[in-house]
């Protein structure tokens, strides 16, 4: 982190009083206090940084930001209305110090994979900072930006949200000049009420872009393809929609990679990515589109995509005991479930195709129908058996049975792991997917441990 003066920080957060000095470190964790840092006392549902503020100052913090007035034993406390808002304001101040290419990414599904692919492409031409993991919220985003230094030429920033106004706030901090929206699905529909409201929330990213800036949208999405914003340079990418500026044709898959032809203007460029699924073709198209608007030649974009590697438990392929395990249980929504099951259907398999599905969250009133439809979709797309886990999983089973397939319901992870151990045999492909809060990786751990 580069130097910030306390005077400019105080002005940015609206703190009264004169503060002299400067900081080159910022912390929100009282267990990690670099000497001379600024400590921001965040307050959440399960913690309150104000309880540790005095200790942070004693342990080396030079200044602190608080919204609760207490006796902290120091005058070096900047009082604000809300410390979370203050962290965002400091992030915006810090971001304004750098003249870089900044790409902002949001969408109902596919954000993190698309972000990683875009970062690979942009890194081929510029030293690039990117959001690590899914640190895409009001805490993770400013912390990401604090990693900027003068050596960086670009940043690829992911933005998540749960409600209206949140993307606008994040984008105001990141200040992107290129926007990407991957998809409008039903994630967060419990809070927003309709897909149209989800579109409205995601398009807050567009509102922050400068006039004439590229806004790159998935043209295969029924809502995104209708977006018309004359103020911006709207570019579509896709597989099915012939009106897309960036189009994928002749898609071919094998066990570990997918190839296709990138059609852009009159150019046709062969592409190979080290992952499978049409959804990953869309992610790669978005990355090529970003590279193109930043002046990176298509051949360079394509070469960079070969370096992409799935992060975390996002479609990680693990050969194990003669069968193939796909660890894809980082998160889930109806759209991403169907994308995974479509990929499972096309995956080369010498045995049976098996789906292990856990609950999807934040679906509100549509949750029973959404789970039922996914269960039906699994069977209609060649899943030989569906192992269903969770409170809503009975609807997976109901949909699978209605489609003429086989399914069993489980409420205990150890029982599920034992059933999988007994069922799976060499040649099978088994795909694990659920919302992150289901912790389906614990079933994987039991499966691996039991089989050793």
Query: Which residues, 6 or more positions from 359, have their beta carbon under 8 angstroms from its beta carbon?
Result: 371, 389, 390, 391, 392, 393, 434, 435, 438
CATH code of the domain made up of 4-86: 3.40.1390.10
Q: 298-305 and 278-293 helices cross at what angle (nearest 10)? A: 140
Confidence of residue 64 (pLDDT cuts 50, 70, 90): very high
Q: With 0-12 CB in 10 A as exposed, 13-18 as middle and 19+ as buried, what is 153? A: middle
Distances (CA, A) of 435 to 53, 144, 184, 389: 35, 24, 18, 11
Judge contact between 160 and 136, C-beta under 8 A: yes
Question: What is the pLDDT at residue 354?
Answer: 98
Beta-bridge partner residues of 259: 252, 272
Taking the whole predicted model, whether its pTM rises above 0.85 is answered as yes
Average pLDDT estimate for 400-429: 96
Q: Judge whether residue 205 has pLDDT over 70.
A: yes
Note the pLDDT tens digit of each residue in 270-286: 999 999 999 999 999 99
How far is the C-alpha of 393 from the C-alpha of 359, rounded, in Å?
6
Torsion of CA 23, 27, 30, 31, to 10 degrees: -110
* CATH match for 316-451 among 3.30.420.40, 3.40.50.300, 3.40.470.10, 3.90.190.20: 3.90.190.20
- Lowest-pLDDT choice from 88-102, 138-152, 298-312: 298-312
Helix (H) or strand (E) holding 278: helix 278-293
DSSP assignment, residue 37? P
Buried b (16+ CB within 10 A) or exposed e, 38-66: bbbbbeeeeeebbebbbebbebebbbbbb
Nearest partner of 312 among 420, 151, 440, judged by Cα: 440
Domain 98-305 grouped into CATH 3.40.640.10: no
Query: Which residues, 6 or more positions from 157, have their beta carbon under 8 angstroms from its beta carbon?
Result: 102, 103, 104, 105, 115, 130, 131, 136, 141, 144, 145, 174, 176
Judge contact between 229 and 221, C-beta under 8 A: no
**Backbone region of residue 72 per phi and psi (left: phi > 0; alpha: psi in -120 to 50; beta: other values):** alpha
Q: Judge whether residue 451 has pLDDT over 80.
A: no
Tell me which of 188 and 29 has the higher pLDDT.
29
For the chain, what is the mean pLDDT?
95
User: Where exactly are the structural domains of the chain?
Assistant: 4-86, 98-305, 316-451
Q: With 0-12 CB in 10 A as exposed, 13-18 as middle and 19+ as buried, what is 257? A: middle
Buried b (16+ CB within 10 A) or exposed e, 72-93: beeebbbbbeebbebbbbbbbb
**Within a 10 A sphere around the Cβ of 304, how many other Cβ atoms?**
22
How far is the C-alpha of 329 from the C-alpha of 343, rounded, in Å?
15
Query: Which residues, 6 or more positions from 140, have their beta carbon under 8 angstroms from its beta carbon?
Result: 131, 134
Q: Judge whether residue 426 has pLDDT over 70.
A: yes
Question: What is the pLDDT at residue 450?
Answer: 56
Note the pLDDT tens digit of each residue in 352-380: 999 999 999 989 999 999 999 999 999 99
């Amino acid at each position: 982190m580069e130097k910030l003066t306390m005077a400019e920080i105080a002005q940015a957060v609206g703190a009264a009083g004169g503060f002299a000095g400067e900081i080159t470190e910022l912390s929100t964790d009282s267990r990690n206090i670099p000497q001379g840092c600024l400590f921001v006392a965040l307050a959440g549902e399960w913690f309150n940084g104000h309880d540790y503020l005095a200790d942070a100052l004693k342990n080396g913090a030079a200044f602190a930001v608080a919204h609760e007035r207490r006796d902290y034993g120091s005058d070096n406390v900047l009082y604000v209305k809300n410390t979370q808002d203050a962290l965002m304001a400091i992030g915006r101040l810090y971001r304004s110090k750098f003249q870089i290419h900044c790409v902002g990414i949001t969408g109902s599904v596919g954000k993190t994979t698309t972000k990683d692919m875009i970062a690979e492409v942009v890194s081929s031409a510029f030293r690039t900072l990117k959001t690590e993991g899914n640190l895409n919220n009001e805490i993770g985003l400013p912390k990401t930006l604090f990693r900027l230094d003068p050596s960086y030429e670009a940043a690829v920033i992911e933005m998540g949200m749960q409600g209206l106004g949140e993307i606008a706030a994040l984008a105001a901090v990141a200040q992107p000049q290129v926007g990407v929206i991957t998809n409008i699905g039903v994630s967060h529909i419990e809070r927003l009420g309709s897909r149209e409201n989800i579109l409205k929330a995601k398009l807050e990213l567009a509102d922050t872009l400068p006039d004439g800036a590229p806004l790159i949208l998935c043209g295969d999405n029924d809502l995104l393809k209708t977006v018309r914003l004359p103020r911006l340079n709207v570019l579509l990418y896709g597989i099915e929609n012939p009106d897309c500026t960036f189009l994928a044709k002749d898609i071919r898959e094998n066990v570990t990679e997918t190839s296709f032809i990138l059609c852009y203007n009159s150019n046709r460029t062969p592409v190979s990515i080290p992952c499978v699924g049409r959804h990953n073709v869309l992610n790669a198209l978005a990355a090529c589109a970003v590279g193109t608007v930043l002046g990176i030649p298509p051949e360079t974009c394509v070469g960079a995509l070969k370096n992409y590697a799935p992060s975390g438990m996002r479609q990680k392929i693990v050969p194990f005991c003669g069968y193939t395990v796909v660890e894809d249980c980082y998160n889930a929504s109806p759209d991403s479930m169907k994308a995974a099951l479509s990929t499972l259907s096309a995956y080369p398999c010498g045995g049976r195709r098996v789906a292990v599905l856990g609950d999807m969250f934040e679906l509100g009133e549509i949750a029973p129908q959404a789970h039922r439809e996914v269960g039906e979709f699994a069977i209609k797309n060649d899943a030989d058996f569906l192992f269903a886990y969770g409170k809503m999983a009975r609807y997976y089973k109901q949909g699978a049975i209605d489609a003429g397939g086989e399914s069993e319901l489980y409420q205990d992870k150890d029982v599920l792991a034992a059933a999988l151990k007994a069922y799976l045999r060499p040649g099978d492909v088994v795909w694990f997917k659920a919302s992150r809060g289901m912790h389906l990786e614990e079933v994987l751990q039991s499966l691996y441990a039991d089989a050793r």
